[in-house]
């Protein structure tokens, strides 16, 4: 019989990993709340159409990567590959479209069937924010600034670069799309198979192709800036002016694109060179046509998502949890009092390690192993006079302390 293993592309969050994961999730929530974002949690699976409509049936995610299944009732369901579509679906079905702008922070697992790599799993986790109902460039500025503040709060902003671009409005995109189709059409035979397919469906995606032959063609492709109308130029100028005013540094990357038609104006990524090929840790942009594509009203939106696994690889240290107090009963007659004391101290806010068996020596050894700061030794003689022995495990000293005032005695160790 083979050994039990996690499914390929999944992993267990053991206590140290879980602490880093929780640090990122909690920091993201704390910072985003300062910007007025409220927490939302959507189901892990949705009707498949939620993602087919939003990601496009020809996208790699839909055609190659989604975990789709038919349930016992005959419904076609999909484990969510990303969070934005679910949040927009919740906006529509939750009756929230009359109370705009709406601002959401989310976190949780996502699922994509792809080749596992460092920082890229088949079940991975994201944090993200969505700002729905604000068409002004100030919304883009706020979303990017919030992202930068979260990266700064978890200690990784200095190891990333913000790459920024504009996709213009619908008219600008149509004009640029036509120029790309003409240019790449003249070089069709030199394109990769994937990019020949993209040429018919979403030619902007050719600009971020990883194929070397495609990249050589992209170097000489028309520039989006030449096809931006005045409105699009003014919108992007307002975004960059706002980021400048806030001191958020960025690098213009004119090849940074999103392939689907509902994306427009601002697109951005925070990238790092510390993770090899998987360099994007946070990515987002404006998607004014998405809610309408899903069957809702025409509601503008802008947001981002960040991969927790990738961020965790960049986090250099997370504060250790509070060191516990160890309870060490001496003899069977002290066990119940030890149990009561542990319960009392936990309710007072202390972390308590209560060994379940063994003599004093073994229990003190375990106390040291789990990093306890202090041990309370409960002998029957001490308990008879309302006292315990308090041992400072760092200093190696030991004193008697009154049981009814033990919280005061422990205050200096917190």
Query: Annotated binding site for L-histidine: which residue ranges?
Result: 82-84, 112, 126, 130, 258, 262-263
Q: Locate 81 and state its tokens.
A: 């590959």
Which residue positions form the known binding site? 82-84, 112, 126, 130, 258, 262-263
Token pair 């729905």: residue: 132
Instruction: For residue 151, report the phi and psi dihedrals to the nearest 5 degrees.
Output: -60, -40
CA distances from 269 to 14, 144, 145, 282 (A): 29, 9, 12, 6
Tell me which residue of 237, 285, 248, 251 sits closest to 265, measured CA to CA.
Answer: 285
Residue 301 contacts residue 291 (beta carbons within 8 Å): yes
* Alpha carbons 131 and 37: distance in angstroms, whole number: 8
Q: Which two tokens stand for residue 86?
A: 């679910």
Distance CA 68, CA 335 (A): 54
SS3 205: helix
Query: Positive or negative CA dihedral for 34, 35, 38, 42?
Result: negative
Report the b/e string of 404-413 with b at 16+ CB within 10 A.
eebeebbeeb
Number of residues written out for the chain: 414
Measured CA to CA, the distance from residue 85 to residue 42 in angstroms comes to 10
Helix, strand, coil percent values for the chain (each to nearest 5): 45, 20, 35
Q: Which residues contact 67 (CB under 8 A, 6 or more apart)?
A: 78, 79, 81, 111, 112, 113
**CA–CA dist 134, 96 (Å, integer):** 14
């Amino acid at each position: 019989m083979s050994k039990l293993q996690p499914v390929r592309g999944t992993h267990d969050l053991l206590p140290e990993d879980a602490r880093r994961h929780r640090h990122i999730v909690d920091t993201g929530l704390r910072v985003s709340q300062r910007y007025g974002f409220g927490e939302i949690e959507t189901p892990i699976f949705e009707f498949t159409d939620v993602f087919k409509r939003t990601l496009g049936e020809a996208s790699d995610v839909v055609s190659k990567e989604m975990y789709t299944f038919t349930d016992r009732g005959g419904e076609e369901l999909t484990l969510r590959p990303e969070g934005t579509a679910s949040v927009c679906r919740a906006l529509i079905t939750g009756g929230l479209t009359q109370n705009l702008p709406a601002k959401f922070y989310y976190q949780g697992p996502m699922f994509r069937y792809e080749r596992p790599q460092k920082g890229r799993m088949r079940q991975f986790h994201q944090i993200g924010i969505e700002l729905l109902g604000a068409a002004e460039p100030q919304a883009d500025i706020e979303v990017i600034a919030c992202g930068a503040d979260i990266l700064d709060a978890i200690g990784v902003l200095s190891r990333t670069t913000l790459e920024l671009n504009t996709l213009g409005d619908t008219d600008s995109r149509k004009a640029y799309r036509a120029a790309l189709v003409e240019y790449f059409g003249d070089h069709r035979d030199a394109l990769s198979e994937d990019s020949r397919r993209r040429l018919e469906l979403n030619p902007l995606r050719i600009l971020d192709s990883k194929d070397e032959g495609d990249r050589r063609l992209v170097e000489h492709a028309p520039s989006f800036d030449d096809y931006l109308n005045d409105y699009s130029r003014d919108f992007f100028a307002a975004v960059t002016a706002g980021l400048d005013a806030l001191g958020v540094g960025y690098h213009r990357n004119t090849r940074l694109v999103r392939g689907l038609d509902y994306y427009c104006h601002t697109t951005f990524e925070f990238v790092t060179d510390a993770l090899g090929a998987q360099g994007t840790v946070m990515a987002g942009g404006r998607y004014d046509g998405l809610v309408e594509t899903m069957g809702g009203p025409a509601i503008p939106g802008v947001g981002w998502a960040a991969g927790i696994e990738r961020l965790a690889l960049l986090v250099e240290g997370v504060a250790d949890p509070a060191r516990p107090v160890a309870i060490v009963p001496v003899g069977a007659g002290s066990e119940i009092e030890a149990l009561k004391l542990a319960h009392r101290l936990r309710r007072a806010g202390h972390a308590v390690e209560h060994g379940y068996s063994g003599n004093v020596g073994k229990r003190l050894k375990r106390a040291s192993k789990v990093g306890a700061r202090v041990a309370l030794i409960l002998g029957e003689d001490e308990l008879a006079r309302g006292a315990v022995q308090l041992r400072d495990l760092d200093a190696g000293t030991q004193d008697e302390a009154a049981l009814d005032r033990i919280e005061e005695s422990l205050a200096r160790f917190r």
